Amino acid sequence: MRIAVGQCWQETNTFNPQVTRWSDFEAMGIAYGDEVVERYGQTGELSGFLEEFRKLQPQAEYPGLARFGCWPSGSIEAGTWKRIKETFVERLQAVGKVDGVYLTLHGALCAEDDPDVTGTLLKLTRDVVGPDIPVVGSLDLHANITLQMMQSADVLSGYHTSPHVDGPQTAARAARALNWLLSSGKKPTTLVRKLPMITAAESHNTFVGPPAPLYRRLEELERHPDVLSACLYMAMPWYDQPELGWTYTLTTKSGSPEWQKVIDDIAKDAWNLRHVMEDVERFAPDKVVARALTVSGKPVVVGDGADATNSGSTGDSTSLVIEFLKQPIPGGALSFMIDRNAVAAAYAAGEGNTFDAQIGGRLAAYSPPVRFQGRVEKLLDMKWILSGHICNNLPIDMGRGAVVRSGDVTLVLCERSGPGSSPKLYECAGLDPRNFKIVVAKSPAGFRADYSPFAADIILADCPGPAAAHWASLKFEQVNRPLFPFDNVASPDVEWCRNASMG
């Protein structure tokens, strides 16, 4: 038995003006053919899929197609997307006869010329292998589900957790679904309900947040022998594309009409959460500092969702740094910034020497550059392995880096974006976030997985940026309307959602 495997993963923030280029994929690692399993078989969803499928079908082989992974950022440049598409099609044609295909995907990925990269890739895959070969995939909980995706794949399996800590388990579910498709020779039935809503990412917590009970129900549903996949996708909200909205999907073996009521009930309960999901307490930068300084103990972890590199923001906002520089912060403040020029300035100055350069505010017009005068403490290579929220064993390369300090403010400067949710970013720079009074995580919610165990307190910041929580501050032009919270939508049963639903 031969199962072709591949990956195309990135989360796109359409409000980040920095397009994603081939070199950005190269920085995180492109692999072809056998390299896909050799290099990434122990990483994230692919590790979970292989481990489970090897148990089910010990004789199976896994010809690799290609692996394209890139840290969340702006839309993929059209020429890069064309090369990625061509690569997948060529590899799929060259690999010979396969019995099934597994793709590890995100689901909120768009290109300059394609609002639905994931759906297009699944459609191209389907076109090559034909209608009978099973195609399955795994998706992030923030996937923006499109009809094209659901019609092209047999089964898509999405995370049940946010923070995302069940990538391998999600892929294992896809593996079990694939095994059923292969052994039964049958096709499953999928019901899809699109809801006309997006909601604050800080509330996307499936453990203690408002949607937690819905995810417990999904887990219970997936224990039913007839269910292959039950998912609730809360959608990447900074994604100005037509079918943007929450989506509930249920894939069953039997296609029994009884499932209709189940999906309608859960979709109704999800819809009823929309107002409470938007009710989030955030603080302006001056209030963040004032509040943090009243907390006893350290660190106070500040979630800067608007500049969340985990949500595809630029990671170069100066909103908080400007505030930190205004006053003494006993215990110190620690943040990071994506700024290639500032790194070059640090390298030009050299370790131990004076640093005096404009930093940040260049990649998107949401905050001004700021003059940072201090000392270069350290020059580094920002290569490390991410395990925790989002992935396990994921090689990260944020390029060259530097630690610069001005008074009580310490910054890690990096050439390229990376996981703003992880304390390992600071640890790889030789800094222990536990030793600072204030530590910035550039993530709206996922950072809690790795910071909560030692944070003295957590504060959510209210800043401008490509991933800002104030929807009105961003220009949504492509989304279907009506859409909560832009419109006063009385019922989820609106025309465009009916058209975007299945079953």
Interaction mask 85-124, Zn ion, x per CB under 5 A: ----------------------------------------
Work out how close the CB of 234 gets to Zn ion at its nearest, in angstroms, rounded to a whole number.
8
Q: Compute the residue count for the chain.
A: 503
Q: Which is nearer to Zn ion, 119 or 237 (CB)?
A: 237
Work out how close the CB of 140 gets to Zn ion at its nearest, in angstroms, rounded to a whole number.
4
Which residues, in sequence order, are bridge partners of residue 30? 68
Work out how close the CB of 375 gets to Zn ion at its nearest, in angstroms, rounded to a whole number.
37
**DSSP secondary structure string for all residues of 298-329:** SPEEEE-GGG-GGGT--S---HHHHHHHTS--
Q: Which is nearer to Zn ion, 57 or 161 (CB)?
A: 161
In the sheet that holds 189-195, the strands lie side by side as 189-195, 246-252, 227-233
Phi-psi region of 116 (alpha: psi -120 to 50; beta: other; left: phi over 0): beta
Work out how close the CB of 142 gets to Zn ion at its nearest, in angstroms, rounded to a whole number.
3
Q: Which residue has the tokens 């060529």?
A: 90
Q: Which is nearer to Zn ion, 380 or 391 (CB)?
A: 391
User: Of residues 192-231, which lie at the interface with Zn ion (CB under 5 A)?
Assistant: none
Q: Which is nearer to Zn ion, 167 or 360 (CB)?
A: 167
Task: Measure the CA–CA gap between 35 and 69, rounded to whole angstroms.
Answer: 14
- The CB-nearest residue to Zn ion is 142
Work out how close the CB of 409 gets to Zn ion at its nearest, in angstroms, rounded to a whole number.
30
The verdict on 142 binding Zn ion (CB under 5 A) reads yes
Pair 6, 103: CB distance under 8 Å: yes
Work out how close the CB of 159 gets to Zn ion at its nearest, in angstroms, rounded to a whole number.
7
* N- to C-terminal Cα separation, the chain: 32
Q: Which residue has the tokens 């001056």?
A: 286
Pair 331, 439: CB distance under 8 Å: no
Pair 436, 365: CB distance under 8 Å: no
The verdict on 323 binding Zn ion (CB under 5 A) reads no
Work out how close the CB of 442 gets to Zn ion at its nearest, in angstroms, rounded to a whole number.
14
Backbone angles phi, psi at 91, to 5 degrees: -65, -40
Task: Choose the binding region for Zn ion from 56-64, 134-142, 317-325, 464-472 (rule: CB under 5 A).
Answer: 134-142
Work out how close the CB of 294 gets to Zn ion at its nearest, in angstroms, rounded to a whole number.
32
Tokens of 109: 């990925």
Q: Which is nearer to Zn ion, 166 or 222 (CB)?
A: 166
Task: Measure the CA–CA gap between 422 and 382, rounded to whole angstroms.
Answer: 13
Work out how close the CB of 138 gets to Zn ion at its nearest, in angstroms, rounded to a whole number.
12
Pair 280, 471: CB distance under 8 Å: no
Pair 140, 158: CB distance under 8 Å: yes
Task: Choose the binding region for Zn ion from 92-100, 138-146, 179-187, 256-264 (rule: CB under 5 A).
Answer: 138-146
User: Of residues 38-57, which lie at the interface with Zn ion (CB under 5 A)?
Assistant: none
Q: Which is nearer to Zn ion, 142 or 274 (CB)?
A: 142
The verdict on 448 binding Zn ion (CB under 5 A) reads no
Pair 418, 382: CB distance under 8 Å: yes
Q: Which is nearer to Zn ion, 142 or 362 (CB)?
A: 142
Q: Which is nearer to Zn ion, 142 or 194 (CB)?
A: 142
Tokens of 415: 């050439």
CA triple 367-373-378, angle to 5 deg: 105
Task: Choose the binding region for Zn ion from 127-135, 139-147, 221-229, 397-405 (rule: CB under 5 A).
Answer: 139-147
Q: Which is nearer to Zn ion, 165 or 329 (CB)?
A: 165
- Judged by CB under 5 A, the residue of 140, 278, 316, 462 near Zn ion is 140
Task: Measure the CA–CA gap between 195 and 244, rounded to whole angstroms.
Answer: 9
Contact residues for Zn ion, defined by CB under 5 A = 140, 142
